[in-house]
A and B are shown apart, each in its own frame.
Chain A
Amino acid sequence: MQGIEVLFMGNNMLRLLSGLWVTIRISLISIGFSLILGTLLGAVMTSKNPVVKAVCRVYLEIVRIMPQLVWLFVVFFGVTKLTGLNLGGETSAVIVFTIWGAAEMGDLVRGAFLAIPRHQFESSLSLGLSKTQMYVFIIFPQAIRGLIPNVINLSTRMIKTTALVSLIGVTEVLKVGKQIIDANRFEYPNAAIWVYAAIFFMYFLICFPLSMASRALTKKQQGGE
Chain B
Amino acid sequence: MKIFKKIAALFAASALALTFAGCDNSGNSGSGDNSGGNSGNATFRNVDQIKESGEVTIGVFSDKNPFGYVDNEGNYKGYDVYFAERIAKDLGVELKLVPVEAASRVEFLETSKVDIILANFTVTDERAQKVDFALPYMKVALGVVSPDSAIIKSAEELNGKTLIVVKGTTAETYFTENYPDVKLQKYDEYNEAYSALQDGRGDAFSTDNTEVLAWAKSNPGFTVGIESLGSTDAIAPAVTKGNETLLTWLNDEIKTLGGEQFFHKDYDETLAAVYGDDETYKENLVVEGGEM
On A, residues with C-beta under 8 Å from B are 6, 9-12, 14-15, 36-37, 40-41, 43-44, 46-47, 73, 76-77, 80-88, 91, 131-132, 135, 166-169, 171, 175, 178-187, 189, 192
Contacts and interface: CB of A to CB of B under 8 A. Distances in A.
B33 interface: no
A38 B107 CA distance: 31
A76 B27 CA distance: 12
A84 B26 CA distance: 11
A11 B26 contact: no
Interface in B46-67: 59, 62-65
B30 interface: yes
Interface in B24-38: 26-27, 30-31
A85 B271 CA distance: 39
Contacts of B5: 43-44, 47
B21 interface: no
A86 B189 contact: no
Interface stretch (B93-101, B145-153, B277-285): B93-101
Interface string B104-125: 1001101111000000000000
Contacts of B31: 84-86
A77 B107 CA distance: 7
Interface size class, chain B: 35 or more
6 contacts: A41-B12, A44-B12, A84-B43, A85-B31, A178-B63, A183-B70
A-side binding surface: helix, strand, loop or mixed?
Answer: helix
A186 B218 contact: yes
A44 B31 CA distance: 37
B91 interface: no
B74 interface: yes
B69 interface: yes
A15 B99 contact: no
B74 A43 contact: no
A179 B26 contact: no
A181 B69 CA distance: 10
Given A44-B12, A169-B113, 14 more contacts: A6-B72, A80-B111, A81-B40, A83-B41, A86-B26, A86-B113, A91-B26, A166-B99, A166-B101, A168-B104, A178-B189, A179-B62, A180-B72, A186-B214
Interface in B67-101: 69-74, 77, 98-101
Nearest to B101: A167
Interface in B234-290: 274
B15 A37 contact: yes
B17 interface: no
A135 B5 CA distance: 12
Nearest to B191: A178
Interface string B126-137: 000000000000
B103 A11 contact: no
A131 to B, nearest CB: 6
B98 A186 contact: no
A36 B274 contact: no
Nearest to B43: A84
Contacts of B218: 185-187, 189
A88 B188 CA distance: 21
A185 B215 contact: yes
Nearest to B5: A43
Given A83-B41, A86-B111, A192-B195, A40 B189 contact: no
Contacts of B62: 171, 175, 179
Given A73-B107, A171-B99, A86 B30 contact: yes
B219 A189 contact: yes
Contact of B65 (A12, A40, A183): A183
